[in-house]
């Protein structure tokens, strides 16, 4: 059931049930983070492997403190600059955080989402919410209540409808290592933004460093093949018998059915439309989806990350 009733959502969560919640990034599948049964149910409903930990959602920085052993000054700066917002921070967990949340790790990821409905909801609760994206594992993340309904509607009692997600890509996850900010997952806040808003040094995690365990190469899968290509025109000339549809970063002519992610190569707009147009393209009568490589700057790198994972399925 879809609705906008915070009291109903709060009552369900207080009784150990799961509720889908809107955030500025993607919809989350939320449960009481301190209730092992609710957490187990999240893994079950999503068909999520147990080695893949969950993010703790909180209403503000003060409420976050008791779930970590320390809040280093770098984290403090990040939280002050970006919370509420699409930045999640990995910190050493306190005893209050169940091991099920962190999949046994000594560290937990915290986030304060920037969505009024969900912040209001979090403020009615005396526990944090564990909330992975509200989709079956490995499928495209939901950016509307209807997307959640299509994937998980029969499994959960309530979907809190907060409209279309403003950002459309998951949060950026960072760790603090020796005073450095290390990006574990690119997302709604770019490396450039962190550098601009704080005086912290930021780097991307190299592949042999600690990575988010959920960064499986197979992820964000459409049901039909998604091909990343250098040129749509050349691809269509090379494979004239393939019935493709294209996702475009700007308005241009192509020789196949196409969907516009943005009129003028606006990266935020592309991020915002990506998952919903991937779903639509997946449901039309074409046999495959083609997308060109995107500019590797700002949020473009997070978009490239999602497209690479989606393409690597095939
Ligand atoms: O924007 C978001 O972050 C959304 C909304 C709903 O808040 N949530 C989200 O959750 O994307 P999920 O579960 O789909 O992705 C969380 C990622 C996974 O890759 C997971 O491995 C990583 O965060 N993660 C969570 N806890 C971790 C931990 N303790 N250590 C390392 N990585 C962690
Ligand atoms: Mg996810």
Q: In this structure, what CATH number is given to the domain that contains residue 289? A: 3.40.50.11030
154 found inside a domain: yes
What is the CA(137)–ligand 2 centre distance, in A? 7
270 found inside a domain: yes
- CATH number of the domain that residue 79 is part of: 3.90.870.10
- Ligand 1 contacts (CB < 6 A) are 23, 25-26, 28, 52-55, 86, 88, 90, 102, 105, 107-109, 111, 113, 131-133, 170-171, 173, 185, 212-215
Q: Which atom of ligand 1 lies nearest, measured to the CA of 25?
A: 1
pLDDT band at 216 (very low <50, low <70, confident <90, very high): low
**Claim: this prediction has a pTM higher than 0.85:** yes
> Looking at the structure, do residues 235 and 191 belong to the same domain, yes or no?
no
Contact 259, 277 (CB under 8 A): yes
pLDDT band at 221 (very low <50, low <70, confident <90, very high): confident
Task: Give the range of the structural domain holding residue 261, as residue numbers without chain letter.
Answer: 226-310
Q: Which atom of ligand 1 lies nearest, measured to the CA of 213?
A: 21
Q: Which atom of ligand 1 lies nearest, measured to the CA of 167?
A: 1
What is the CA(2)–ligand 1 centre distance, in A? 24
Averaged pLDDT, 6-16 = 98
pLDDT at residue 272 tops 80:
yes
Please report the pLDDT score of residue 207 as a whole number: 65
CA distance 155 to 307: 28
Q: C-alpha dihedral over 229, 230, 233, 237, to 10 degrees?
A: -70
pLDDT band at 312 (very low <50, low <70, confident <90, very high): confident
> Looking at the structure, do residues 190 and 145 belong to the same domain, yes or no?
yes
What is the CA(185)–ligand 1 centre distance, in A? 9
Split into its structural domains, the chain has a count of: 2
Question: Among residues 204, 236, 262, which one ends one of the domains?
Answer: 204
> Looking at the structure, do residues 237 and 125 belong to the same domain, yes or no?
no
> Looking at the structure, do residues 28 and 156 belong to the same domain, yes or no?
yes
- Among 51, 173, 272, name the best residue to mutate to test ligand 1's pocket (greatest count of ligand atoms within 8 A of Cβ): 173
Contact 228, 311 (CB under 8 A): yes
> Looking at the structure, do residues 59 and 101 belong to the same domain, yes or no?
yes
What is the CA(285)–ligand 1 centre distance, in A? 33
Q: Which ligand is closest in space to the CA of residue 216?
A: 1
Helix axes 267-283, 300-311, angle to 10 degrees: 20
- Among 170, 182, 189, 218, name the best residue to mutate to test ligand 1's pocket (greatest count of ligand atoms within 8 A of Cβ): 170
What is the CA(127)–ligand 1 centre distance, in A? 18
- Cβ neighbours around 164 below 10 Å, total: 14
pLDDT at residue 80 tops 50:
yes
Q: Write out pLDDT tens, residues 13-44.
A: 999 999 999 999 999 999 999 999 999 999 99
Averaged pLDDT, 124-141 = 96
Q: Write out pLDDT tens, residues 161-211.
A: 999 999 999 999 999 999 999 999 999 999 999 999 999 999 999 864 445
Average pLDDT over the chain reads 94
What is the CA(241)–ligand 1 centre distance, in A? 40
> Looking at the structure, do residues 300 and 179 belong to the same domain, yes or no?
no
Please report the pLDDT score of residue 206 as a whole number: 80
Strands of 244-248's sheet in order across? 226-229, 288-292, 244-248, 257-260
215 found inside a domain: no
286 found inside a domain: yes
243 found inside a domain: yes
Q: Give me the sign of the Cα torsion angle 192, 194, 199, 203.
A: negative
Question: Among residues 170, 204, 238, which one ends one of the domains?
Answer: 204
Contact 55, 131 (CB under 8 A): yes
64 found inside a domain: yes
89 found inside a domain: yes
């Amino acid at each position: 059931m879809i609705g906008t009733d915070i009291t109903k959502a709060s009552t369900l969560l207080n009784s150990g049930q799961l509720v889908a919640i809107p955030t500025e990034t993607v919809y989350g599948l939320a449960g009481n983070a301190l209730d092992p049964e609710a957490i187990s149910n999240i893994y079950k409903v999503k068909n999520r492997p147990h080695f893949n930990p969950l993010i703790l959602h909180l209403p503000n920085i003060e409420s976050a403190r008791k779930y970590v052993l320390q809040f280093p000054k770098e984290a403090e700066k990040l939280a002050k600059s970006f919370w509420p917002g699409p930045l999640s921070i990995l910190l050493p967990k306190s005893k209050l955080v169940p091991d099920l949340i962190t999949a046994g790790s000594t560290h937990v990821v915290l986030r304060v989402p920037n969505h009024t409905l969900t912040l209001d909801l979090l403020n009615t609760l005396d526990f944090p919410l564990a909330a992975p994206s509200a989709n079956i594992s490995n499928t495209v993340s939901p950016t509307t209540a209807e997307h959640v309904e299509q994937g998980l509607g029969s499994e959960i009692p309530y979907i809190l409808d907060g409209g279309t997600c403003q950002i459309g890509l998951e949060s950026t996850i960072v760790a603090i290592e020796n005073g450095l900010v290390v990006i574990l997952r690119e997302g709604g806040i770019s490396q450039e933004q962190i550098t601009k808003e704080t005086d912290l040094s930021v780097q991307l995690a190299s592949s042999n460093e600690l990575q988010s365990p959920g960064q499986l190469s197979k992820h964000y899968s459409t049901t039909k093949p998604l091909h990343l290509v250098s040129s749509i025109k050349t691809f269509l000339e090379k494979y004239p018998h393939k019935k493709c549809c294209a996702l475009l970063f700007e308005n241009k002519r192509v020789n196949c059915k196409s969907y516009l992610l943005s009129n003028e190569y606006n990266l935020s707009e592309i991020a915002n439309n990506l998952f919903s147009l991937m779903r639509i393209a997946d449901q039309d009568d074409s046999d495959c989806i083609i997308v060109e490589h995107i500019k590797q700057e700002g949020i473009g790198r997070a978009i490239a990350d999602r497209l690479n994972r989606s393409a690597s399925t095939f």
